[in-house]
Structure 1
Amino acid sequence: MKSFEVVAAIIVCGGRVLCMQRGESKYEYVSKKFEFPGGKVEPGERNSEALVRELKEEMDIDVQIAEDDYFMTVSHDYPDFSITMHAFICKVDDCSFTMNEHSDFRWLGKSELMQLDWAPADVPIVIAIEDSEVLDGKRL
Structure 2
Amino acid sequence: MKKIEVVAAIIQHDDKTLCVQRGPAKFDYIHHKFEFPGGKVESGETGEQAIIRELQEELRLDISKADYFMTVDHTYPDFHITMHGYICPVESREIVLTEHIDAQWLSINELPQLDWAAADIPFVEKLMAE
With the length of structure 1 as denominator, give the TM-score of the two structures: 0.91
2:17 alignment partner, SS class: strand
Query: How many positions carry a matched residue from both structures?
Result: 130
List aligned pairs for 1:22-41, cutoff 5 A. 22-41=22-41
* Runs of at least 5 residues in structure 2 that lack an aligned partner in the other structure: none
Q: What per-residue deviation string (whole Å, max 9, x for no partner) do you get for residues 35-90 of structure 1?
A: 00000000110000000000000010110234xx1000000000000110000000
> Residue type matched to 1:96 in 2?
E
Match of 1:97 in 2: 95
Match of 1:111 in 2: 109
1:29 alignment partner, SS class: helix
What is the root-mean-square deviation of aligned Cα atoms in Å? 0.7
Match of 1:45 in 2: 45
* Runs of at least 5 residues in structure 1 that lack an aligned partner in the other structure: 133-140
Match of 2:2 in 1: 2
With the length of structure 2 as denominator, give the TM-score of the two structures: 0.98
Runs in 1 of length 4+ with deviation above 6 angstroms?
Answer: none
1:74 matched to 2:72? The reply is yes
Provide the identity percentage. 54
